[in-house]
Amino acid sequence: MNYEALLINKNLKKTFPRLKVLEILDRADGFLSADDIHSSFKDEAHSLPLSTIYRVLDSFLKEDIVHELNLDHRNIKLYEIAHKHHAHHLICVECDKVIHLKECPVHSFEEDLKETYGFKMNHHSLDFYGVCDQCQKAL
Amino acid sequence: MNYEALLINKNLKKTFPRLKVLEILDRADGFLSADDIHSSFKDEAHSLPLSTIYRVLDSFLKEDIVHELNLDHRNIKLYEIAHKHHAHHLICVECDKVIHLKECPVHSFEEDLKETYGFKMNHHSLDFYGVCDQCQKAL
DNA sequence: TCCTAAATGCAAGTCATTCTCATTAAATTA
DNA sequence: TAATTTAATGAGAATGACTTGCATTTAGGA
Ligand SMILES: [Mn+2]
Ligand SMILES: [Mn+2]
Ligand SMILES: [Zn+2]
Ligand SMILES: [Zn+2]
Look up the CATH number of the domain holding residue B43. 1.10.10.10
pTM of the entire predicted model:
0.90
- Lowest mean pLDDT, pick from A121-130, B39-48, B127-136: B39-48
CB B67 within 8 A of CB B122: no
Please tell me the predicted confidence (pLDDT) of residue B129. Answer: 95
- Indicate yes or no: CB of A133 within 8 angstroms of CB of B122: no
CB pairs under 8 A between A and B: 96
Indicate whether A70 and A90 sit together in one domain: no
In which domain, by residue range, is A40 found? Answer: 1-84
CB A21 within 8 A of CB A57: yes
The pLDDT tens digits along chain A (139 residues) read 899 999 999 999 999 999 999 999 999 988 999 999 999 998 877 899 999 999 999 999 999 999 999 999 999 999 999 987 778 999 999 898 999 998 899 999 999 999 999 999 999 999 999 999 999 998 7
* pLDDT single digits (tens) A105-124: 999 999 999 999 999 999 99
CB A80 within 8 A of CB A67: yes
Indicate whether B61 and B98 sit together in one domain: no
Q: Comparing C-alpha atoms, which of B121, B115, B61, B73 is closest to residue B98? A: B73
Number of domains in chain A: 2
Residue B116: phi and psi, rounded to 5, are -65, -40
Beta strands in A9-92 (DSSP E): 32-33, 66-70, 77-81, 88-92
CB B70 within 8 A of CB B41: no
Other beta carbons within 10 Å of B139: 8
Interface mutation target, options B109, B127, B136, chain A, most CBs of A under 10 Å: B109
